[in-house]
Amino acid sequence: MKNSIKILAAFGILILMFFTASAQTNDWIGKWNTTLAGKNTLGDLTITKSSNGEYIGVFPNGKIAGKMTPSGDLKGTYTRTTNSFDITGMGKMGEFRFVMYADKKSFLGYYKPEGKSDWQSDNWNGKRQTGPTLVQQIEIKDIKKRGEVLKDYKLPTWTGTWKTDTFGVFKVLDTGSKYNNTEAIKIEGKFFIKGSGDFIDIIDVVGYHRDNTPKVFEGTFKHGNKTGYLVITFGTPTDNDFSGYLNYHSIPGKTREIPKIQEKRVYVKGHRTSSSKPNMHTPN
């Protein structure tokens, strides 16, 4: 019985040593955000380990190569491609030494450019970029799983004709194109306000929605010689109803004082009467 306990204890120690050694040898592997003296960013430093035990790192316009010392430091050489705008003082090549903090999340670094006899005073420091937590990994898997189930799901669209309580008929075209080279989707709209006789007052609108908030329409508008911005949201009580506001802003005439922007907010509600692609040139 005692021999069995000893064997199990020895086996446990071996496993612990193995995992400890593995953790130590892998401490430097990963992505680090590095700076000089906490000011000048050197960008992301991605470190991997080759089959011969050498650590290789790549960062913008440069790379490192080194080995881990018995104390756990990473020591080696660096090479860089420099240009006339380089203000780091690191030169084209030199030596480095990284000392890991106990938390394993950051390091204190030293560098010595070729031709210099001393380590430079502006430390080459780094912070580890951590990957997603276990909870986040589970959430990501869940999102992917739901994405497979909902792959045929279509995002709600603003396209259609809406009857409003304030500004007459609102015609909207959810274009599907990008808005100002962003990830947002461009939306074009026109309010057709019927006045006396055949007079039609038009408010031109351009804005966007994002895929993660498809029911929120934000943008700017032009109404005669007035401009402003609007924020409207559909979904209450259904995707065929919206509510929001238009904020008019105007600058007073010239005065001796600095003019202040004056705003007037007008609220609006609407109900979709058609989901078909509208004719954006007529109110009918």
- Averaged over 86-99, what is the pLDDT? 90
Q: Is residue 94 domain-shared with residue 165, that is, in the same domain?
A: no
Whether 12 is in a domain gets the answer no
Q: Is residue 165 domain-shared with residue 242, that is, in the same domain?
A: yes
Residue type, 117: S
187 pLDDT tier (thresholds 50, 70, 90) = very high
Number of domains in the chain: 2
Tell which of 71, 106, 128 closes a domain: 128
pLDDT for residue 65 is more than 90:
yes
Whether 263 is in a domain gets the answer yes
Going from the C-alpha of 121 to that of each of 71, 91, 132, 152, 197, the distances in angstroms are 22, 15, 34, 58, 80
Whether 135 is in a domain gets the answer no
Give the pairing type, strands 169-178 and 40-49: unpaired
Residue type, 130: T
Asked if residues 263 and 249 have their Cβ atoms less than 8 Å apart, the reply is yes
Residue % of the chain over a pLDDT of 90 = 42
Q: Is residue 249 domain-shared with residue 186, that is, in the same domain?
A: yes
Helices (H), the chain: 2-25, 134-149
Mean pLDDT for all residues in the chain: 81
Whether 4 is in a domain gets the answer no
Distance between CA 163 and CA 241 in Å, rounded? 10
My answer on whether omega of the bond before 237 falls inside 30° of 0, hence cis, is yes
pLDDT for residue 204 is more than 60:
yes
Whether 264 is in a domain gets the answer yes
Q: Is residue 264 domain-shared with residue 167, that is, in the same domain?
A: yes
DSSP 139-203: HHHHHHHHHHHTTT-------EEEEESSSSEEEEEEEEEESTTSSSEEEEEEEEEE-STT-EEEE
Q: Is residue 121 domain-shared with residue 165, that is, in the same domain?
A: no
Q: Is residue 100 domain-shared with residue 182, that is, in the same domain?
A: no
pLDDT tens-digit series, residues 157-166: 899 999 999 9
User: What is the distance, to the nearest Å, from the Cα of residue 189 to the centroid of all Cα atoms in its chain?
Assistant: 28
Q: Is residue 113 domain-shared with residue 164, that is, in the same domain?
A: no
Q: Is residue 181 domain-shared with residue 261, that is, in the same domain?
A: yes
Distance between CA 240 and CA 188 in Å, rounded? 18
pLDDT for residue 142 is more than 70:
no
| Half-sphere CA count of 84, side-chain side, radius 13 A | 0
What pLDDT does residue 235 have?
80
Give the pairing type, strands 241-250 and 74-80: unpaired
Terminal CA-to-CA distance of the chain, rounded, Å?
A: 93
Tell which of 128, 150, 184 closes a domain: 128
Give the residue numbers spanning the domain of 102: 28-128
Whether 115 is in a domain gets the answer yes
What pLDDT does residue 141 have?
67
Whether 122 is in a domain gets the answer yes
Distance between CA 127 and CA 35 in Å, rounded? 9
| Higher-pLDDT residue of 139, 264 | 264
Residue 60 is part of a domain; what is its CATH number?
A: 2.40.128.380
Whether 17 is in a domain gets the answer no
pLDDT for residue 134 is more than 70:
no
